[in-house]
């Protein structure tokens, strides 16, 4: 892992299966992005699906990522153009799109994120185009080369069409959504055998299709990490800014009480 790699190289590193460390950002202020980036995380994921981010706040946090030298991805609220285009115009290095349960949905999100062969709305006047400094073709080429598109596989319907989803051009990676899969399978934990089987099925399909694999874990010392690495996961989203803060606070409290 190289914490000094330029954020623009995130997609290249993802496709090369480098071991990458990130976390979700749930707090709508810039400071967690600056702190997490400055200590050397490879990327952060702004969570627009489950946390309160408007477009102005999103723009500020992407700027914070640039200041800290870390790649910023956005978990979009949906696969619609209105949720994919703004983060990319603001300069995000990619998007995670939830509930990609069919090849049709996968094709749509890839098209919304790409210029050539897709239907991404053009502008080079935003941060992504360096406020007009990037010429037309320069911006198109750089955006298509550097934008990572990650499909979140977290629905039972997706398990039946993994080969078709994997065949979609412009889709770079599978995120294995073990939380939603647990709910869908009617079990109470991601470590349940049913979820393990589904995870291994998704990973096998991703490897066969040449897609990178990404997963979330609560802790990097979790026993799940070695298993996930063994099935091909190379990008790990560990906890969240709030989860990391809570864990540090609990440890500090325990250390304080030990004084007594």
The rounded distance, in Å, linking the Cα atoms of 195 and 63 is 37
The answer to whether the CB of 23 falls within 8 A of the CB of 53 is no
Helices and strands, counts by H and E, the chain: 12, 8
Residue 85: per-residue pLDDT: 97
Residue 5: per-residue pLDDT: 61
Q: What is the 3-state secondary structure (H, E, C) of 204-260?
A: HHHHHHCCEEEEEECCCCCCHHHHHHHCCEEEEEEEEHHHHHHHHHHHHHHHHHHCC
Residue 6: per-residue pLDDT: 87
State yes or no: is 31 an active-site residue.
no
pTM of the shown model: 0.95
The rounded distance, in Å, linking the Cα atoms of 130 and 47 is 24
**Cβ neighbours of residue 144 closer than 8 Å, sequence gap 6 or more:** 114, 115, 116
The rounded distance, in Å, linking the Cα atoms of 50 and 209 is 29
The answer to whether the CB of 85 falls within 8 A of the CB of 164 is no
The rounded distance, in Å, linking the Cα atoms of 96 and 75 is 5
If DSSP codes are grouped into helix, strand and coil, which group holds residue 74? strand
CA dihedral for 169, 198, 176, 16, sign (positive or negative): negative
| Phi, psi (rounded to 5 degrees) for 197 | -65, -45
List the chain domain ranges.
7-258
| Phi, psi (rounded to 5 degrees) for 182 | -60, -45
161-195 b/e with 16+ CB inside 10 Å = b? bbebbbebebbbbbbbbbebbbebbeeeebebeeb
CATH fold, domain 7-258, is TIM Barrel (3.20.20)
pLDDT tens, N- to C-terminus, the chain (260 residues): 444 468 999 999 999 999 999 999 999 999 999 999 999 999 999 999 999 999 999 999 999 999 999 999 999 999 999 999 999 999 999 999 999 999 999 999 999 999 999 999 999 999 999 999 999 999 999 999 999 999 999 999 999 999 999 999 999 999 999 999 999 999 999 999 999 999 999 999 999 999 999 999 999 999 999 999 999 999 999 999 999 999 999 999 999 999 98
Catalytic residue among 31, 50, 139, 216: 50
Q: Would you say how long the chain is, in residues? A: 260
């Amino acid at each position: 892992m190289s914490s000094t790699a330029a954020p623009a190289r995130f997609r290249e590193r993802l496709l090369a299966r480098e071991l990458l460390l990130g976390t979700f950002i749930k707090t709508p202020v810039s400071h967690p992005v600056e702190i997490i980036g400055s200590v050397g995380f490879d990327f952060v994921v702004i969570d627009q699906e489950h946390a309160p981010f408007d477009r102005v706040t999103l723009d500020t946090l992407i700027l914070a990522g640039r200041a800290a030298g870390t790649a910023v991805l956005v978990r979009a609220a949906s696969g619609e153009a209105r949720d994919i285009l703004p983060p990319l115009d603001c300069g995000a290095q990619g998007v995670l799109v939830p509930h990609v349960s069919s090849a049709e949905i996968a094709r749509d999100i890839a098209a919304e994120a790409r210029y050539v062969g897709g239907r991404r709305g053009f502008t080079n006047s935003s941060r992504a185009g360096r406020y007009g400094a990037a010429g037309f073709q320069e911006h198109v080429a750089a955006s298509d080369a550097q934008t990572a598109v990650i499909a979140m596989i977290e629905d039972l319907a997706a398990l039946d069409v993994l080969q078709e989803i994997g065949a979609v051009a412009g889709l770079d990676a599978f995120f294995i959504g073990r939380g939603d899969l647990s709910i869908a399978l009617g079990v109470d934990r991601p470590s349940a055998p049913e979820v393990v089987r589904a995870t291994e099925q998704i990973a096998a399909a991703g490897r066969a299709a040449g897609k990178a694999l990404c997963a979330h874990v609560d802790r990097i010392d979790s026993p799940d990490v070695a298993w996930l690495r063994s099935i091909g996961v190379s990008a790990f989203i560990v906890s969240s800014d709030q989860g990391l803060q809570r864990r540090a606070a609990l440890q500090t409290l325990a250390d304080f009480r030990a004084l007594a």
